[in-house]
Amino acid sequence: MPFTDPNQEDIFKRRESQVRSYCRSFDTVFVKAQGSEMTDADGKTYIDFLAGCSTLNYGHNDPDMKAALIEHISRDGVAHGLDMFTDAKAEWLGAFEEIILKPRGMDNYKIMMTGPTGTNSVEAAMKLARKITGRNNIIAFTNGFHGMTMGALSLTGNAAKRGGAGTNGGGLGGVTHLPYEGAFGDDVDTLEQIEMMLNNPSSGVDAPAAFIFEPIQGEGGLNAASNEWMQAIARLAKEHGALLIVDDIQSGCGRSGTYFAFEEAGIKPDLVTQAKSLSGMGLPFAALLIKEEHDVWNPAEHNGTFRGNNHAFVTSRVAFEKFWKDDKLSKDVKEKADILTAALKEIVDLIPGSRLKGRGMMQGVDVGTGDLAADICSRAFEKGLIIETSGADDEVVKILAPLTTPVETFRKGLDILIEAAREAAANTKIAAE
């Protein structure tokens, strides 16, 4: 038990910075996590529909990943070796090549080990695109989220997050934000506007080094790009001599139903960022996939102490071997995505003006206001479900359950969510009357 010493009961509030975030919504102390469930210090078990914001696509403490990691540590396998050659790295690279890259016709990609979090791979992608093209401007999209370090933050749309830089926008330049698909509603084709901005030499948009987009916007409200939109952005990037960067940090590793969320669009991005579920077990691990012809770094030109986490190499390799050698997980995700859509439609029916968002196992409901979304999530938490919001005004209730969630648990979590939505909807109706 964590609080045998009563002085520790308020340790978080007393000692941890105000910047703390998710713990504010889920105000309990977690002591255990297994599969799709987390247990707190009082022994209460919660179904996890947040899954580390899509970092735990294979659930908490997968037994095979855990066993391989324990074995690696027990035999004094290398924990940290900068980016030196290790057996764990060789095995991981081999598995990535054979299980992920080759079957997808992506044999011509190099893998760059970046610092351990997603934002590190985004920074590396930005630097490389600018270095290759000799241009500064990067085209990012409305509601995009790409990370918290200064470069990645410059690509990020969210005003509150940008404000955290304390520079009033200074140092966050070199980026043009253009409308993502659907930004003006379903009837307006943003591609026409984007093309005009790029083709009109007086639009004020400098020739871009790169375009960067998320196939499904995770933090920005579960806007999902169509295959046609992704293909068109890929074509525009080519036409304008810019690189295409796909940020698949949240939408990747199977979340959409395929390993990469852009696979069905048939595009081959110049650079692909990977993090979140890449390690398979929630360990910090990020990488940048680079089309061979773009791998123009000088040795050590982009360096770092924690590049290539050996423990993550072990667990990530097991994830590839366990889940990606056949299409079982993909099929499973597609089936569960249908269950999810059906359940969310019930919520849409309960809340006037609400609508479905996202695709695959990355769906949610735009309930119209952040207050209502927060009310639904806090009622769900009371009932034993961990779930968060997303979107410009946090107006989208977002479901990011582990892909491996057993159907029975999944349905149980969805029932809790529907009940929470029913109560919250009734409550706002009473308040309005």
Ligand X SMILES: *Cc1c(COP(=O)(O)O)cnc(C)c1O
Which positions lie near ligand X, rule CB under 6 A? Answer: 117-119, 122, 145-147, 214, 218, 247, 249-250, 275-276
Cβ-based nearer residue to ligand X, 190 or 223: 223
> How far apart are CB 208 and ligand X at their closest, in Å?
19
> How far apart are CB 249 and ligand X at their closest, in Å?
4
Query: How far apart, in whole angstroms, are the C-alpha atoms of residue 135 and residue 206?
Result: 9
> How far apart are CB 148 and ligand X at their closest, in Å?
6
The residue assigned the tokens 């984007």 is 194
Query: How far apart, in whole angstroms, are the C-alpha atoms of residue 206 and residue 197?
Result: 10
Contacts of residue 133, defined as CB under 8 A and 6 or more positions apart, other chains included, come to 209, 210, 241, 242, 243
> How far apart are CB 319 and ligand X at their closest, in Å?
17
Cβ-based nearer residue to ligand X, 178 or 425: 178
Cβ-based nearer residue to ligand X, 145 or 410: 145
The residue assigned the tokens 């993502």 is 180
Cβ-based nearer residue to ligand X, 287 or 351: 287
> How far apart are CB 202 and ligand X at their closest, in Å?
32
> How far apart are CB 346 and ligand X at their closest, in Å?
27
Cβ-based nearer residue to ligand X, 59 or 118: 118
Cβ-based nearer residue to ligand X, 59 or 115: 115
Q: Could you tell me the two tokens for 37?
A: 């469930």
Nearest residue to 264 (alpha-carbon basis) of 228, 309, 314: 228
> How far apart are CB 152 and ligand X at their closest, in Å?
6
Cβ-based nearer residue to ligand X, 276 or 379: 276
The residue at minimum Cβ distance from ligand X is: 118
Q: Are the C-beta atoms of 64 and 322 separated by less than 8 Å? A: yes
Cβ-based nearer residue to ligand X, 126 or 329: 126
> How far apart are CB 53 and ligand X at their closest, in Å?
6
> How far apart are CB 214 and ligand X at their closest, in Å?
5
Q: Are the C-beta atoms of 427 and 81 separated by less than 8 Å? A: no
Work out the angle at residue 121's Cα, subtended by the Cα atoms of residues 115 and 123, and round it to the nearest 5 degrees: 100
Cβ-based nearer residue to ligand X, 157 or 257: 157
> How far apart are CB 59 and ligand X at their closest, in Å?
19
The residue assigned the tokens 């690279």 is 93
> How far apart are CB 402 and ligand X at their closest, in Å?
16
Contacts of residue 185, defined as CB under 8 A and 6 or more positions apart, other chains included, come to none
Cβ-based nearer residue to ligand X, 125 or 374: 125
Cβ-based nearer residue to ligand X, 210 or 421: 210
